[in-house]
Structure 1
Amino acid sequence: MPNATSVFAPQRLSLVTAGLIVALAVSGCTQLRGRQGYVVDPVLTAAIAPGVDNRESVEKTLGRPTFVGQFSDNEYYYVSRETRQLAFANPRPVSQQVLRVRFDPAGNVVAVDKTGLELVSKISPEGDKTPTLGRHRSFFDDIFGNIGAVGAAGMGGNTGGNTGP
């Protein structure tokens, strides 16, 4: 009579192999999470009030801004973004918050605005070729297209005018 462990050994080996393959496949498809920029604390951001706070109190409460306004230093921006990506794919934004704190010339808070993911634009480049208006020329047209065209008029020959006596 054959041994019971020797009959089930090939089946057990194939199950272990299949389990390892599934584990490797699933581990390659894991989702990576990323956080960029300012770490938002809802209590601290809600504490900033127009007419009460000034530039110094905002910096003490929220820290230094992510960036200051481009045309005026009377705007502070705090940017926070959370992204997700699968294994080797490009990361995609899941949530974003931009907190804009505006100051008057004296440095007092005038307004606090919050925006989210609704302002994120997805830009899809056109690949390796930029579409242009005009003629579509091939590689050989670009190289050989000007042969005979450069200097054709006025080469010392007859220009179509009066040829003389």
Structure 2
Amino acid sequence: MTAIRFLGASLLAAATLAAGGCSSIRESRGFIADPTLTQSVQPGIDNKQSVQAALGHPSFESQFGQPTWYYVSSLNERKPFSRPRIGTHSVLAIEFDAAGNVASVERSGIDKVVYLSPDGDRTPTLGRERGFFEDLFGNIGAVGAPGAQGPGGPGGP
């Protein structure tokens, strides 16, 4: 009777461990958003210093146009032996005017994410395809090639 109980307990323990191994793994990436702090940023009231004091450094800043700070956060979920999937995604874009004051605050989510699917493992380019040896020896004997010791080159008239 005790052998049957031991076998039953062993099977129950094995089933519990197996079920625990199938649970999903959650990973936070980027800015960890605190709703209280992100809701506190107000246009016309805050400036760059107060935003940085409340939220920290942005994930990235705009390079063109109006100065804009972006705070990007993602929560990925992954089951064992599978690719991660984005569970939640949010972007907080804070635009500043020329004086450094907050001009606007925009919040967006997964609806504005663009999924890109590359076509193959090569990037198409304009021009002709050149092989390794043509790249290596292509300028040998070319008249007027850069680096050639001819007229107009170094030491020429």
User: What pairs up with 1:25-64 in 2 under 5 angstroms?
Assistant: 25-64=18-57
How far residue 85 of structure 1 moved from its aligned partner, in angstroms, is: 1.0
Residue matched to 1:95: 88
Unaligned runs of 5+ in 2: 125-157
Change (3 A) 1:124 1:30: farther
Give the length in aligned residue pairs: 123
Q: What is the rounded CA distance, in whole Å, between the counterparts of 1:42 and 1:64 in structure 2?
A: 17
For residue 10 of structure 2, the aligned residue among 2, 14, 17 is: 17
Unaligned runs of 5+ in 1: 1-7, 133-165
Q: What is the rounded CA distance, in whole Å, between the counterparts of 1:105 and 1:99 in structure 2?
A: 20
How far residue 16 of structure 1 moved from its aligned partner, in angstroms, is: 2.8
Stretches of 4+ moved more than 4 A in 1?
123-126
CA RMSD of aligned residues (A): 2.4
How far residue 105 of structure 1 moved from its aligned partner, in angstroms, is: 1.7
- Of all paired residues, the percent bearing the same amino acid is 35
Change (3 A) 1:37 1:105: same
How far residue 11 of structure 1 moved from its aligned partner, in angstroms, is: 2.5
Change (3 A) 1:41 1:129: closer
Deviations 1:119-157 (A, max 9, x none): 22344566x778x9xxxxxxxxxxxxxxxxxxxxxxxxx
Q: What is the rounded CA distance, in whole Å, between the counterparts of 1:49 and 1:43 in structure 2?
A: 12
Normalising by structure 1, report the TM-score: 0.64
How far residue 71 of structure 1 moved from its aligned partner, in angstroms, is: 2.1
Residue matched to 1:71: 64
Residue matched to 2:146: none
Q: What is the rounded CA distance, in whole Å, between the counterparts of 1:10 and 1:121 in structure 2?
A: 59
Residue matched to 2:106: 113
Q: What is the rounded CA distance, in whole Å, between the counterparts of 2:121 and 2:101 in structure 1?
A: 50
Normalising by structure 2, report the TM-score: 0.67
For residue 80 of structure 1, the aligned residue among 70, 73, 83 is: 73
Counterpart amino acid of residue 99 in structure 2: A
Counterpart amino acid of residue 94 in structure 2: V
